[in-house]
Amino acid sequence: MKPYKHKNNDGSIVFGIIIIFIGVILLLRKLGFFIPGWVLSWPMILIAVGTFTLIKHEFRSFFGAVTLFIGSYFLLRNEFDFDFGLGQYIWPVGLIILGIYLVTQKKRENRVLDEIRNSWEKNRSNSSTSSFSSSKVEEAKVVDENEGTSKNSGEGFTRTTGTSFADRLNIDAIFSGVNRRMMTKNFQGGKITAAFGGADIDLSQSDFNGVVTIQVDIIFGGVKMVVPPHWDVRTEVTNIAAGLEDKRFFREGGVDTTKVVILKGTILFGGLEIKSF
C-alpha cells in the first residue's frame, strides 16, 4: 500500500483558524469590546462551514459553495437589509437540486455496479491465466473511467445504504448525520468532518497493512468508529471541552503492530467514541 501524501491545504489548519477566531471574539466581548451580534449569528456559522469545506476540498465542493451562498444571503438580508428577492426561491430550488443529485448519484452507482458485474462475468468465462489477468486490467480501467479517478487515488462509490467500496474515508457531516460502512481490504485512511452533526463509521469489515492516518475534525458534533479489535489505534487528537472514549474489547493476542491507525485533528465541544465487537 502506497503512503498517502497529505495535501498542502490541510483542513485542520482552516479548522484551527476558525476556532481561534471564535475564541478571540468571545474574549473581546468579555473584555467589554463592542462586537456586532451578527458576528456569531447562525448565517455566520454557515459561512464558516462553507468556507472551511471549500478550502478543504480545494474549492471543488458543491456543498461548500451552497452553504456559503445561503449563509451570505441570509446575513445580508437579516443584518444589512439587502433583500435581492431570492428568499422565496431558495428552498424550492434547493429541493430540486437535492433531488437531481440523488437521482444522478443512484444512476452513477448502478452504472458502475453493472460494469463491475459484466467484468467479473467476463473473467469467469476466461480459462487461461493470461486472459484472466488481461480482463482484470480491463475491469480496473472500466471502474476508473466510470468513477472519474484512478485506483491509486483511493476513491470509489458509495451505495445509498451507506456501504462504501472506496479505499479512503471522505466524510462531511455538517448539520446532518452520516452512516458509512467501509468494505475495502486496502484501507488508506482519510478524513472525517462533523460540524453540528454526527457520523457513524464502521470499519469492522475493512483491512489494510501498514500505517494509515485519519483526520478527524469535530465541532459541536460526534463521531463513532467501530474498528477490528486487533488494530493498533493511536490518538493524536486535540480535545477542547470535548470527550474521547476508547471502548474497544481487546483480544488475548493483543494488537497487530502491522495495522496502525493514527487519528489526528481537533475536537471542540464534541465527542469521539472508538469501539469494537
Q: For the residues 56-64, what does the mean pLDDT come to? A: 70
Domain count, the chain: 3
Q: What single-letter DSSP state applies at residue 158?
A: B
Domain that holds residue 273: 160-277
Are 45 and 25 in the same domain?
A: yes
**Which of 17-31, 138-152, 190-204, 247-261 shows the lowest per-residue confidence on average (mean pLDDT)?**
138-152
Number of Cβ within 10 Å of residue 162's Cβ equals: 14
Confidence of residue 150 (pLDDT cuts 50, 70, 90): very low
CB within 8 Å of 263: residues ≥ 6 apart: 213, 214, 216, 233, 234, 235, 236, 237, 272
Domain boundary among 63, 84, 105: 84
Residues 177 and 207 reside in one and the same domain: yes
Angle between helices 62-80 and 87-125 (to 10 degrees): 170
In a domain, 220, yes or no: yes
Tell me: do 19 and 75 sit in the same domain. yes
For 109, 165, 212, 218, the CA distances from 269, given in Å and listed in that order, are 36, 31, 26, 8
| 177 plus 223 within the same structural domain | yes
Whether residue 154 lies inside any domain: the answer is no
Contact 9, 56 (CB under 8 A): yes
Inter-residue contact 196 to 174 (CB < 8 Å) = yes
Q: Has residue 153 been placed in a domain?
A: no
Contact 225, 274 (CB under 8 A): yes
Same domain, 170 and 270: yes
According to DSSP, residue 151 is labeled G
Does the residue 121 lie in any domain?
yes
pLDDT at 134: 47
Outline where 3-41 has alpha helix (H): 11-30
Return the higher-pLDDT residue of 187 and 173. Answer: 187
Q: Is 168 part of a structural domain of the chain?
A: yes
Grid coordinates in use for 243? 470527550
Q: How many Å apart are CA 170 and CA 172, to the nearest integer?
A: 7
201 plus 218 within the same structural domain? yes
Q: What is the dihedral of CA 92, 94, 100, 104, to 10 degrees?
A: -170
The mean pLDDT value of the chain amounts to 76
Q: Is residue 4 part of a domain?
A: no
From residue 151, how far is each of 144, 154, 155 by CA, in Å? 7, 6, 7
pLDDT of residue 126: 66
* 128 and 63 part of one domain: no
Query: For residue 6, is it within any domain?
Result: no
Question: For residues 197 and 213, is the Cβ–Cβ distance under 8 A?
Answer: no
Residue at 271 is within a domain:
yes
Is the model's pLDDT at 110 over the cut of 50? Answer: yes
User: Quick check: 191 and 215 in contact, CB under 8 A?
Assistant: yes
Q: How far apart are CA 217 and CA 89, in angstroms?
A: 33
Predicted confidence (pLDDT) at residue 153 exceeds the cutoff of 50? no
* 165 lies in the same domain as 236: yes
Q: In whole angstroms, what is the distance from residue 173 CA to residue 156 CA?
A: 19
Do 143 and 190 share a structural domain?
A: no
pLDDT of residue 139: 45
Confirm if 64 and 50 have CB atoms less than 8 A apart: yes
Q: What is the pLDDT of residue 84?
A: 66
Q: Are residues 28 and 67 in the same domain?
A: yes
> Which residue is listed with cell 443529485?
101
CB 44 within 8 Å of CB 38: yes
Query: With contact defined as beta carbons under 8 Å apart, do 265 and 215 qualify?
Result: yes
Q: Are residues 173 and 227 in the same domain?
A: yes
Same domain, 64 and 165: no
* Cell 459553495 -> residue: 65
Which pLDDT belongs to residue 93? Answer: 77
